[in-house]
Amino acid sequence: MSNRKIRVAVLFGGQSSEHEVSRISAQCVLENIDKDRFDIQTIGITRQGEWIKYDGDIRLIGSGEWEEKARAKLLEDRNKSPKTIQSGPATCMDLISYYDQEGNKQSADVVFPVLHGPNGEDGSVQGLLQLANIPYVGCNILASAAGMDKEFSKLVFQNAGIPQANYIKVMRNEITGSIDYLVNQVNEKLGWPCFVKPANAGSSVGVSKVSKPEDLEGALRTAAEYDNKILIEEFIDGREVECAVLGNENPMASTVGEIIPCNEFYDYNAKYLDGKSETIIPAKLDEHIIEQVRDYAIKAFKALGCSGLSRVDFFVERKTNRVILNEINTMPGFTSISMYSKLWEASGIPYSELITRLIELAFEKHENTLRSYERK
């Protein structure tokens, strides 16, 4: 690879409620990646689960217009060159391979799965890439799956001694006929208000703040539209802060940023649509609190077995200044307003260099995790 550019396949889209966020993140990555060093192939995953190569205007990715262009190009290429028709047994690598202008099949050297939410950030695509035996940016199968499932990650963080909010787990089929019992559980264990959220979702999709018992059932049914498992969490009256982590076995933490949401809480609209939420980097917190956040972020990253990157979200309780872990994101947003890249920029790593480092970490992780029988 030393005599040519490194071939990077960027995956975007996916079959999750965060499809749009993934497209916008991917567009930002493609606009900032070092094109002198990397040869980029973009592959869009439609809502229906189709994998379609796309080499058109990257500005059409965020808007969703890419798909029509990619389908038209696919049909044109098939009519023009029979080489592009699959022959023989297919492998996982075929999904991330592509054809150059001469119709010759090329394979990517590394994959950047800019995918958020289920069917992308939850270990499913990571498993496919591992079967393809190709380096990829981000966490491995186990860390991705555990990080996506808020209950499993809570169990891991509890074992690591990191403070968290109290919670109650509810399965979808337990909602009907159990509301009175659940209301009593909230009264006894959590109090009001509380938060209801899908256990496996991101970007605050399906999350509700519930202030009174009569609204609990509606919030549970909203969350149940996105996942079979639901968490009812204790409300923490705290400042919302985030810390970015970068690395593999020896990760480092960025400075800490604070979010001032434009809505009652930092929901999907506040994150991506309204554009009115305020971010303060670095957060105006006492130095010992910032260091506590950074220490917990590294501890959470290591406890879950993460690699490459993660963004760890916390509350700093207003009355006590106690640092409480909210959740971890193993493939955080990469949009122009996303905290992960902004935190590292404030810590001295510009966006383009950050992408390069993540790709280098992908190669390092792949080399370190190869088993002896795979080297033969």
Domain CATH number, residue 51: 3.40.50.20
Whether residue 270 is found in the same domain as residue 197:
no
Whether residue 120 is found in the same domain as residue 220:
no
The CATH number for 263's domain is 3.30.470.20
The CATH number for 196's domain is 3.30.1490.20
Domain total of the chain: 3
pLDDT at position 73 is 84
Whether residue 104 is found in the same domain as residue 159:
no
**Does any domain span residue 207?**
yes
**Does any domain span residue 375?**
no
Whether residue 25 is found in the same domain as residue 132:
yes
Whether residue 156 is found in the same domain as residue 270:
yes
Whether residue 328 is found in the same domain as residue 271:
yes
Whether residue 60 is found in the same domain as residue 184:
no
pLDDT at position 17 is 85
pLDDT at position 291 is 98
pLDDT at position 2 is 57
Mind listing the pLDDT tens digit for each residue in 242-251?
A: 999 999 999 9
**Does any domain span residue 37?**
yes
pLDDT at position 372 is 55
**Does any domain span residue 328?**
yes
Whether residue 228 is found in the same domain as residue 241:
no
pLDDT in tens, the chain (376 residues): 557 899 999 999 999 888 999 999 999 999 999 999 999 999 999 999 999 999 999 999 999 999 999 988 888 877 776 555 444 455 677 878 776 666 677 789 999 999 998 899 999 999 999 999 999 999 999 999 999 999 999 999 999 999 999 999 999 999 998 999 999 999 999 999 999 999 987 667 889 999 999 999 999 999 999 999 999 999 999 999 999 999 999 999 999 999 997 656 545 454 444 556 789 999 999 999 999 999 999 999 999 999 999 999 999 999 999 999 999 999 999 987 889 999 999 999 999 999 999 999 999 999 998 865 565 5
**Does any domain span residue 374?**
no
Whether residue 183 is found in the same domain as residue 256:
no
Q: What is the 3-state secondary structure (H, E, C) of the chain?
A: CCCCCEEEEEEEECCCCCHHHHHHHHHHHHHHCCCCCEEEEEEEECCCCCEEEECCCCHHHHHCCHHHHHHHHHHHHHHHCHHHCCCCCCCHHHHHEEECCCCCEEECCEEEECCCCCCCCCCHHHHHHHHCCCCECCCCHHHHHHHHCHHHHHHHHHHCCCCECCEEEEEHHHCCCCHHHHHHHHHHHCCCCEEEEECCCCCCCCCEEECCHHHHHHHHHHHHCCCCEEEEEECCCEEEEEEEEEECCCCEEEEEEEEECCCCCCCHHHHHHCCCCEEECCCCCCHHHHHHHHHHHHHHHHHHCCCEEEEEEEEEECCCCCEEEEEEECCCCCCCCCHHHHHHHHCCCCHHHHHHHHHHHHHHHHHHHCCHHHHC
Domain containing residue 101: 6-136
Domain boundary among 187, 211, 234: 234
